[in-house]
């Protein structure tokens, strides 16, 4: 499954570093995992968890030093066991608007 949030998590820092920027590595914590069986054949689960990225500092040549506040997202995954575990769907949302993984973001 394609995940737009995942792509942004890779593409944004890549472009940032290519322009000469740097940042601290924020702490990431995972809390409140919830697993629900969706199907036994094939074996399929819905997994939800809260992911928190801590605050961090950064630097850009254009704007100097900056600060990013912490952020918490609810991540939802639909996973299926075929020949191996496969992620069928991913969704990321703010906790107050979260719902089960329904499809690609």
Q: How many CB atoms lie within 10 A of CB 27?
A: 11
Does residue 81 sit in helix, strand or coil? strand
* Model pLDDT, residue 15: 87
pTM: 0.64
Residue 96 DSSP symbol: G
Torsion-angle region of 20 (φ positive above 0: left; ψ -120 to 50: alpha; else: beta) = left
**Please, are residues 56 and 23 in contact by the beta-carbon 8 Å criterion?**
yes
Per-residue pLDDT of the chain (105 residues; tens, 9 = 90+): 466 767 777 888 888 888 889 888 899 999 999 999 999 999 999 999 999 999 999 998 888 999 999 999 999 999 999 999 998 888 888 886 444 444 444
């Amino acid at each position: 499954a394609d995940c737009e949030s995942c792509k942004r998590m890779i593409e944004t820092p890549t472009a940032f570093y290519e322009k000469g920027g740097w940042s601290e590595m924020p702490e990431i914590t995972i809390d409140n995992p919830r697993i629900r069986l969706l199907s036994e054949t094939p074996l399929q689960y819905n997994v939800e968890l809260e992911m928190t990225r801590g605050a961090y500092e950064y630097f850009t040549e254009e704007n100097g030093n900056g600060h990013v506040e912490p952020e918490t997202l609810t991540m939802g995954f639909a996973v299926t066991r075929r020949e191996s575990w496969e992620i069928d769907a991913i969704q990321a949302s703010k906790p107050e608007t979260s719902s089960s993984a329904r499809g690609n973001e």
